[in-house]
Structure 1
Amino acid sequence: MSSSTKFWMIEDAPTPVATFSHATERDGWVFVTGQMPTTPGDDDAPLPEGIEAQTRRVMDNLIIVLKGMGLGLQDVVAVRAFLTEFKRDYDAMNVLYASYFEPGKLPARTCIGVTGLACDALVEIDFIARRPAAA
């Protein structure tokens, strides 16, 4: 594999809310920028209401980025989740989050309570993935 870094901007993914690439890749390691619960193709759409709807939108946005790189959730090895209302939203976020992965095959994860997120979101999630070795 090449040791140069590739900077990914995925056409169907949401518009970045700051100055970043949707993902970077080096030596098969993929670092997907934290996604917000924004709507792809509609920068002016309001955020979904509630932690379940926002978690679903964030996970779907992350899947769009992975798919645009030829990857899927099975390639995710680590996750960081950020919640602005940790005590209130942790359990509900976990239930929805876990539904996206095959049972018994959850990536490593850290979940952090924060005082605020971009766009006044309730949740932000980022991924580290590993591209499968070529056969």
Structure 2
Amino acid sequence: MSTTTPVFHMLAGAPDPVAPFSHAVEANGFVFVTGQMPFIGTGLDSGYPEGIEAQTHQVMKNLTTVLEGCKLGLEHVVQVRVYLTDFERDYDSMNTTYAGYWPVGRRPARTCIGVTGLAKGALIEIDMVAVRPTGA
């Protein structure tokens, strides 16, 4: 679906947005996936799991739901940004959890940033950029 005209994706089964945004926007073969929070369900009142490991797994699950709704997977991700509210405490544990989602040698470029707060009190938020394979 490579196109210069942006395609705005709102996907059933993905968590409800916490602000006015699309789950993903696609243009020129790139799919920009909005940062996902660790909501257990789709509703904004569904709550978060306890701890950084569980929240990292839930964010990755939510991101995978968005990617699958765009007919993509983690293997198409080329860039990731991770935001942590307690960088010193959570960085190592988050990295251990995160590393299991990609094979060594096939991990996307990544930035990890410590922030003063995230929506709804989350410990972590992750956004991604994926590339749609040619002809897909």
TM-score bin (small chain)? over 0.9
| Structure-2-length-normalised TM-score | 0.95
Alignment of 1:72-91 (within 5 A): 72-91=73-92
Q: Separation in 1 of the partners of 2:42 and 2:60?
A: 16
Give SS of 2:31's match: strand
Whether the aligned pair in 1 keeps the contact of 2:18 and 2:44 (CA below 8 Å) is: no
Q: Separation in 2 of the partners of 1:125 and 1:76?
A: 12
CA deviations 1:58-92 (Å, max 9, x no partner) are 00000000000000001000000000000100000
Q: Percent identity?
A: 58
Q: Separation in 2 of the partners of 1:45 and 1:3?
A: 36
Q: Which runs of 5+ in 1 are unaligned?
A: none
- Matched with 1:47 is 48
Q: Which runs of 5+ in 2 are unaligned?
A: none
Give SS of 1:24's match: strand
Q: Separation in 1 of the partners of 2:15 and 2:91?
A: 24
Q: Separation in 2 of the partners of 1:90 and 1:39?
A: 22
- Matched with 2:61 is 60
- Matched with 1:100 is 101
CA deviations 1:106-125 (Å, max 9, x no partner) are 00000000000001000000
| Structure-1-length-normalised TM-score | 0.96
Alignment of 1:29-48 (within 5 A): 29-48=30-49
Runs (4+) of structure 1 moved beyond 4 Å?
none
Q: Separation in 1 of the partners of 2:19 and 2:124?
A: 16
Give SS of 1:124's match: strand
Which residue identity does 2:5 align to in structure 1? S
Q: Separation in 1 of the partners of 2:118 and 2:45?
A: 17
CA deviations 1:26-47 (Å, max 9, x no partner) are 0110100000001233432221
- Matched with 1:20 is 21
